[in-house]
């Protein structure tokens, strides 16, 4: 109960506000040979555990506590209890759900397994339905479950864990799992500094006095900021062990600390990205194919780095998310920020929403909030842009800046068609060379978008399905979703932004090729509807469905209304139409 009360207090606001769908609490069990000892009280249980109990493995979970509403039970396989695999699947499933926080309570919850004659692995014994769970159908994929669906299913994979701190229960970040997922603690959660947690002067009592527990929890609650409408009052003095961390850190502060640790910065300083430039009009990020024997693809990715290096002088900061030491070094040599730790699906394919959140968090932590509109954008790793991209964004920002700042519009999305060209390592060391090569190419279809520019703050990335990049359907979903958002404007920039697709051996429809996770996006769950995405969610997902479109007129970029798509929308007064 102590653990659950602490967690309920810490996550209550985040769940109520929709910031989080809920939490899952799991933990290791303690095995003890049971020979009918009397267990009439908690003290009896603790005494038996101390007399010969042994903490069991992290992949053998026996209890699963969910806050109500955290799991969508109709969408999990028809597992049976008492048989193998379902425990790890449940933990792995919560691990990959960006809206659920997974907490390892092994250190504060005693789960005593009373071992009888069937031993400690009864669920693995042979029986008529022993393999039921490993042959169950996953309703999200329509396929039989497989090993990769539980490879992050140990208690040790939980992004957060509980510990006793004096008489109180605290929660800490397990950074090597929380960081790649972009997780941070809600601001109300009590999490003392690591040095305070490890202090030998604070012993962990075997059976804390209930009155002391209540007093300590009250001190933690009193140290949290009061609601805005309530005048602040002097907090009760916290116990000595809690004094250094009485004020719970905000998620952004926790993110800063984690980034500082990752980059080796002392104290609370932040060095989140080598060479990050502030005051840019756009942050463009991409992913590369880390391991390929296709020389054309390697050459294309190098051309992309060179193009981004040129764009940096015009106000674009580029990022590449890569696990490769080689590509990270090449990126940094071209003034492109390399991000080495990021969230993926079980096949290692990057999650789109995590990248958008990471770039926004790092730039705002380092540079502060931009007073003007700034764009965050994903683009495929084989797309080369010219300065025409920046010229278009400058005009869009001039036209929509006041509308967004005043709250009249939530934001804008800029997309466009790409131009395909067969690439055989031609020299692309200048914008002129890119434009010249594009003359040999052909504009591709309107439902194959490869870049997505959003004004920062226009999207809640936590309310988007867990799409991965490089696979079909997510591009059309993004456009359709913004098309139907009354507070958003979608701009088709096909005529003023050259997005040159350097076609290599994998062709022009690589995202439609069969692979282990080819259907990941069309099987994703929409967190708004809590159902699998469907064709109706991308039927207005073409560039032609943009409410507005750009054109060149007299050497400058102008914007026009697209009749039949804009509905009741009107161009902002500041937009140049001629």
CATH code, domain carrying 484: 3.90.550
Among 232, 250, 268, which residue terminates a domain? Answer: 250
Q: Where are the alpha helices (DSSP H) in 72-139?
A: 86-95
Residue 577 lies in a domain: no
Q: How many domains does the chain have?
A: 2
Closest to 483 in 3D by CA, of 552, 424, 564, 426: 564
Residue 277 belongs to some domain of the structure: no
Q: Is there a single domain that holds both residue 340 and residue 201?
A: no
d(CA 151, CA 174): 17
CA R_g for the chain: 27
Closest by CA to 418, choosing from 503, 494, 496, is 494
At residue 255, the pLDDT reads 40
Question: What are 468-515's pLDDT values in tens digits?
Answer: 999 999 999 999 999 999 999 999 999 999 999 999 877 655 544 557
Q: Any idea of the CA torsion for 47, 48, 50, 54, to the nearest 10 degrees?
A: -160
* Alpha-carbon gap, residue 121 to 104, rounded angstroms: 21
Burial 464-503 (b: 16+ CB within 10 A, else e): bbbbbbbbbbbbbbbbbbbbeeeebbbbbbbbbbbbbbbb
Would you state the pLDDT for residue 380? 96
Output the CA torsion 28→527→67→225 (10° steps). Answer: 100
Range of the domain at 402: 282-561
Handedness of CA 564, 565, 569, 571 (dihedral sign): negative
**Residue of 116, 124, 140, 111 lying closest to 45 (CA atoms):** 111
Residues 415 and 466 in one domain: yes
Of the candidates 250, 272, 303, which is a domain's last residue? Answer: 250
* 275 in any annotated domain: no
358 occurs within a structural domain: yes
> What local confidence, expressed as pLDDT, does residue 261 receive?
41
Same-domain pairing of 427 and 343 = yes
Half-sphere exposure of 462 (CA within 13 A, CB side): 15
Q: Are residues 342 and 455 in the same domain?
A: yes
Taking 50 as the pLDDT cut, the residues of the chain under it are: 193-208, 213, 216, 220, 223-272, 511-512
φ, ψ (nearest 5 deg) of residue 101: -100, 130
Q: What are the residues whose beta carbons fall under 8 Å from the beta carbon of 562, sequence distance 6 or more?
A: 492, 544, 546, 547, 548, 549
The per-residue DSSP string of 527-562 comes to TTTTEE--GGGSTT-SGGG-SEEEEEETTEEEEEE-
**Domain-embedded: residue 573:** no
Residue 577: what pLDDT? 66
Do residues 243 and 289 share a domain? no
**In DSSP terms, which residues pair with 316 in a beta bridge?**
282
Q: Is residue 274 part of a domain?
A: no
Statement to judge: residues 352 and 430 lie in one domain: yes
Contact 105, 27 (CB under 8 A): yes
In a domain, 537, yes or no: yes
Looking at the structure, tell me whether residues 298 and 399 fall in a common domain: yes
Name the burial class of residue 209, with classes exposed (0-12), middle (13-18) and buried (19+) by CB atoms within 10 angstroms of its CB: exposed
Whether 411 and 491 have beta carbons less than 8 Å apart is answered as no
Q: What's the pTM value of the predicted model, to 2 decimals?
A: 0.57
- 244 and 288 inside one domain: no
- Do 312 and 206 share a structural domain? no
Minimal CA–CA distance to 49: which of 62, 63, 30, 36? Answer: 30
User: In terms of domains, do 186 and 293 share one?
Assistant: no
Do residues 529 and 431 share a domain?
yes
The residue ranges of DSSP E strands in 281-324, in sequence order, are 282-287, 316-321
Per-residue pLDDT reduced to its tens digit, 529-561: 989 999 889 999 999 999 999 999 999 999 999
Tell whether 88 and 151 lie within a shared domain. yes
569: in domain: no
Q: Which of 250, 270, 296 is the last residue of a domain?
A: 250
């Amino acid at each position: 109960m102590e653990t659950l009360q602490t967690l309920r207090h810490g996550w209550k606001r985040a769940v109520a506000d929709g910031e989080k769908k809920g939490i899952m609490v799991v933990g290791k069990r303690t095995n003890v040979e049971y020979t009918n000892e009397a267990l009439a009280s908690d003290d009896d249980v603790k005494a038996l555990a101390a007399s010969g109990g042994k903490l069991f493995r992290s992949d053998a979970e026996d209890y699963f506590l969910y806050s109500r509403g955290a799991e969508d039970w109709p969408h999990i396989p028809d597992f049976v209890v008492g048989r193998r695999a379902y425990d790890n699947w449940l933990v792995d499933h919560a691990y990959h759900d960006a809206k659920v926080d997974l907490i390892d309570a092994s250190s504060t919850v005693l789960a005593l397994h009373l071992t009888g004659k069937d031993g400690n692995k009864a669920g693995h014994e042979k029986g008529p339905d022993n393999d039921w769970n490993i042959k169950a159908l996953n309703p999200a994929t329509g396929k039989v479950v497989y090993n990769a669906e539980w490879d992050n299913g140990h208690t040790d994979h939980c992004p957060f864990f509980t510990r006793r701190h004096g008489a109180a229960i605290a929660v800490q970040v397990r950074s090597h799992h929380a960081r790649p997922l972009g997780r941070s603690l809600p601001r109300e959660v009590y999490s003392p500094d690591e040095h305070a947690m490890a202090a030998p002067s604070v012993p962990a009592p075997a059976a804390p006095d209930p009155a002391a527990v209540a007093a300590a929890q009250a001190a933690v609650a009193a140290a949290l900021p009061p609601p805005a409408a309530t005048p602040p009052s002097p907090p009760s003095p916290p116990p000595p062990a809690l004094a250094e961390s009485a004020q719970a850190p905000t998620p952004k502060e926790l993110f800063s600390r984690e980034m500082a640790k990752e980059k080796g910065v002392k104290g609370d300083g932040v060095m989140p990205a080598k060479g990050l430039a502030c005051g840019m009009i756009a942050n463009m990020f991409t992913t590369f194919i880390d391991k390929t024997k296709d020389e054309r693809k390697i050459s294309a990715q190098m051309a992309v780095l060179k193009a981004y290096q040129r764009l940096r002088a015009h106000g674009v900061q580029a990022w590449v998310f890569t696990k490769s030491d080689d590509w990270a070094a090449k990126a940094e040599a071209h003034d492109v920020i390399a991000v080495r730790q990021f969230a993926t699906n079980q096949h290692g394919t990057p999650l789109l929403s995590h990248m958008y959140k990471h770039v926004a968090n790092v730039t705002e932590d380092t540079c502060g909030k931009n007073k003007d509109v700034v764009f965050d954008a994903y683009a495929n790793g084989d797309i080369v842009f010219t300065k025409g991209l920046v010229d278009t964004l400058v005009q869009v920002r001039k036209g929509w800046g006041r509308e967004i700042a005043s709250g009249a519009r939530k934001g804008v999305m800029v997309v466009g068609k790409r131009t395909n060209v067969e690439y055989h390592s031609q020299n692309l060391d200048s914008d002129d060379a890119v434009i010249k090569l594009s003359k040999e190419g052909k504009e591709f279809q309107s439902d194959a978008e490869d870049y997505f520019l959003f004004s920062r703050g226009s999207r809640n990335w936590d309310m988007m399905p867990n799409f991965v990049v490089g696979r079909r359907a997510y591009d059309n979903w993004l456009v359709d979703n913004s098309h139907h958002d009354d507070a958003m404007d979608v701009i088709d920039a096909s005529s003023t932004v050259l997005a040159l697709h350097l076609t290599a051996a994998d062709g022009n429809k690589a995202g439609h090729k069969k692979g282990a996770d080819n259907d990941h996006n069309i099987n994703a769950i929409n967190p708004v509807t809590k159902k699998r995405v469907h064709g109706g969610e991308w039927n207005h997902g073409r560039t032609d469905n943009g409410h507005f479109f750009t054109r060149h007129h007299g050497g400058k970029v102008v914007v026009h209304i697209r009749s039949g798509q804009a509905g009741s929308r009107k161009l902002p007064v500041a937009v140049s139409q001629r």
